[in-house]
Structure 1
């Protein structure tokens, strides 16, 4: 249980360092952007950011995970850090130079020929974020979450302030002749580009904060080690690309395959993307868990009883995710107010997206085995299978007119497949005993409770006070049921004997 408590503590700390910045971003920016941007503009914003996520994987080569693997011994850590950092520095400079020469062709291909500034800003974001990848990994491996949190928070604060400044204050101030000089600081009458520009400045601030790490490079690039690290990370690149496709391909496919014109298709993509922001709490918990779990598992791989801990971790993760699912869905009436009124039509996809994210988290938990035993190729193949499902099912459903419901249901099918396959493969190559019966019970009880709340909603019609009151009772009943089922576990977690 000591390892569980240790991981729980690190997840809580990394929760603060990763959840808090993104939560601030969600609480402050999502309500603002979904009220000031049109659905089509928000669709552009979401469409292009999906490519940022994709190229973040490609440009980092997943060397942050390889760094964890090859820095396990303290004497190897400086060489692994120097090699990964120097390689990414060189490859990023090369990418940036080539990409800036191809800005207009890229803008044409993306169907934004009149807005090459979109592409320029995104290239800069990609380059700057890549330069922070290994320094951030070094902070995680050195177990310095407070420093990690400080950098992330600074980035979000700068980004949020600039978005409000560019989109709200500048248009007001620039109406006065004395303030028209502000036009040189941003893209006038181009709110989408201004959002990207704010991100560029925030990413630049990140680079400045991790810059001291570059001065600590004391060794030359080790080409032998680099080949080993790239060989290790290559399947993870495939898995990462597949993961981005599975999570973010919905908006780009809606843009190209939707039944309307470009503007209406982007509007559908904007509605869907806004809906995906509601499951942010489950997403953020999964990210915080992953930030803590990946280096934690590597550091404790040789500890006695570590494999038993993995099963307990999966059980705890499932329980917390089910609580998050219920907590959001039973309060969707007021949680949905975070979105602008014109975007709330997409709220019907939220329960599906929440379940999809729950299975994504389970896949992350089940898939740690292939990183520990150097079978990352298996993870790559599983992710590729999920991507195939994602692409084919999205194409079929979007062309059948399911609009933004298509990527939501596709995500759920994809992550169920990946979770089941990862579990099955793990039992073959690196068997770990998971308490599947209890995990399934948590999930079925949560779905049953949600179904009951929908019956209440139908019966109570529009009486919001009745709906929320009964939903609170349902959520409380779920907690009581879980505590009754897991009384020994709860007592152990509290440090008391059962």
Structure 2
């Protein structure tokens, strides 16, 4: 019970910053879809897709390696890993700067090389600050972690509002003509959606100030022998993360390429990419829960040596992780009828809303995979994670290539779901062979089935003459009742969690 309280408390703390930050960032979907048409946002969807992949290369698994090795010599490995990240980030960023123009031309955005330079700097800052943030997590300095993250996000949101809600409408004449000319000229239409990148860069730069103490404690230190040990442990994690990120992002990279011309009447492939990419953002609710849980669980199960991070506790934690995420899946899916109107302000984006329940479930399964992956990180069999995610990536690629010409962006969602399911099953099977954990898989499967039925029930009750908010959430309420009866002990009038 204490392990649940501990991880729940830390997850809620990290979750507060993650949810608040992502919620503020999520409001930017409203701003971006108000300011730009889908085709205009296509460059952001595509470049942020590549950026997510590049971010893994910039950190190359060293964050997880830090958790694994820091318990042996805290400051030593902090210095060595951060030294390595600073060197490699500088090299990668220099390469992107030198080849920014031809790379952007190859991607179909000639003359936009400055965007890639901004993204390269964002990547360098993200990688360099990742290790100080990991140190805060390991030392359980949650408040400082939360403060730095939230302030950076507030700056990003503020700059987006300044550029896109303030300067852009002023330049376009929406705020009237009685403004000084220099204010009109502050917005450059040729940058357009690139202001989203610029706001991101300026916000990220503020992290150096908030992490000042962590950088002051850093001392340049190097050892090829130690780095070799770190690299042997971390490079399979890098390939695993790359494969996992390709698995998540590859659909957006393939959709524009394989979608037949005129598949969606009156829309280009860039329109379809913009619609799918922004509907995909509605699955952020599941990502929030997974990210917050990882922030607390990873340093606990990898960075400590104690009896509380036992296999039984891991199974218990995973059980409740599935329950919470199932409620998120059902809750969001059952309320898309008003969520879409709140966050996707143009009706053209609503056409792709059917992908959201599928993507939420896919992310839920991916979260289970991440939770189970503790076994190959603890046993130093990180190469197993690479194999599993490469299989998942193969499924994603083949599914998209075969099905996009037939089903459009729905194929992207279903391919991601199939891939996540296969990865989860492979990880479970491998863990039971090499490091068995008594997961309550039958109960977890039951919650997933009941969650699916709860979502379907809303579709069946849509035409009944009762308030839509009630008809769409009947299944959610029944699921809540089932969980309270099954998981809670009501003896004595005060509910408590049943451990067995």
Q: Shorter-chain-normalised TM-score: which range?
A: over 0.9
Q: Which residue of 2 aligns with 1:468?
A: 469
Q: Which residue of 2 aligns with 1:269?
A: 273
Alignment partners' CA distance in 2, 1:100 and 1:323: 45
- 1:223 matched to 2:224? The reply is yes
- 1:148 matched to 2:178? The reply is no
Alignment partners' CA distance in 2, 1:426 and 1:246: 21
Within 5 Å, which residues of 2 pair with 1:101-140? 101-140=98-137
Q: Which residue of 2 aligns with 1:371?
A: 377
Alignment partner of 1:279: what SS?
A: helix
Q: Deviations over 1:265-317 (max 9, x none)?
A: 22111111111111211110001001111001124454157110111111101
- 1:36 matched to 2:55? The reply is no
Q: Deviations over 1:348-389 (max 9, x none)?
A: 111111110110111111111111111111011101111111
Alignment partner of 2:140: what SS?
A: coil
Alignment partner of 1:278: what SS?
A: helix
Q: Deviations over 1:3-59 (max 9, x none)?
A: 222111111111112222112111x21111122211112222111101111010001
Q: Which runs of 5+ in 2 are unaligned?
A: none
Indicate the RMSD between aligned Cα atoms, in angstroms: 2.3
Q: Deviations over 1:387-406 (max 9, x none)?
A: 111111111112x2322111
Alignment partner of 1:112: what SS?
A: coil
- 1:444 matched to 2:441? The reply is no
Alignment partners' CA distance in 2, 1:379 and 1:497: 30
> Is the alpha carbon distance of 1:497 and 1:276 closer, same or farther for their aligned partners in structure 2, counting shifts above 3 Å?
closer
Q: Deviations over 1:155-194 (max 9, x none)?
A: 1111111111111211344566975445786643432111
Alignment partners' CA distance in 2, 1:331 and 1:210: 39
Cα displacement (A) at 1:93: 1.2
> Is the alpha carbon distance of 1:208 and 1:401 closer, same or farther for their aligned partners in structure 2, counting shifts above 3 Å?
farther
Within 5 Å, which residues of 2 pair with 1:39-438? 39-73=38-72, 76-174=73-171, 179-181=180-182, 187-218=188-219, 220-260=221-261, 264-303=268-307, 306-337=310-341, 338-340=343-345, 341-398=347-404, 400-438=405-443
> Is the alpha carbon distance of 1:410 and 1:214 closer, same or farther for their aligned partners in structure 2, counting shifts above 3 Å?
same
Q: Which runs of 5+ in 1 are unaligned?
A: none
Cα displacement (A) at 1:452: 1.4
Alignment partners' CA distance in 2, 1:147 and 1:173: 38
Q: Which residue of 1 aligns with 2:11?
A: 11
TM-score by length of 2: 0.93
Moved more, 117-126 or 160-169: 117-126
TM-score by length of 1: 0.93
Alignment partners' CA distance in 2, 1:318 and 1:221: 42
Asked if 1 retains the 8 angstrom alpha-carbon contact of 2:78 and 2:131, the reply is yes
Asked if 2 retains the 8 angstrom alpha-carbon contact of 1:254 and 1:403, the reply is yes
Alignment partners' CA distance in 2, 1:238 and 1:215: 31
Cα displacement (A) at 1:137: 0.8
Alignment partners' CA distance in 1, 2:64 and 2:309: 23
Alignment partner of 2:49: what SS?
A: helix
Q: Deviations over 1:40-86 (max 9, x none)?
A: 1222211110111101000111211100111013xx11011111111
Alignment partners' CA distance in 2, 1:95 and 1:186: 31
Alignment partners' CA distance in 2, 1:257 and 1:103: 26
Q: Which residue of 2 aligns with 1:456?
A: 461
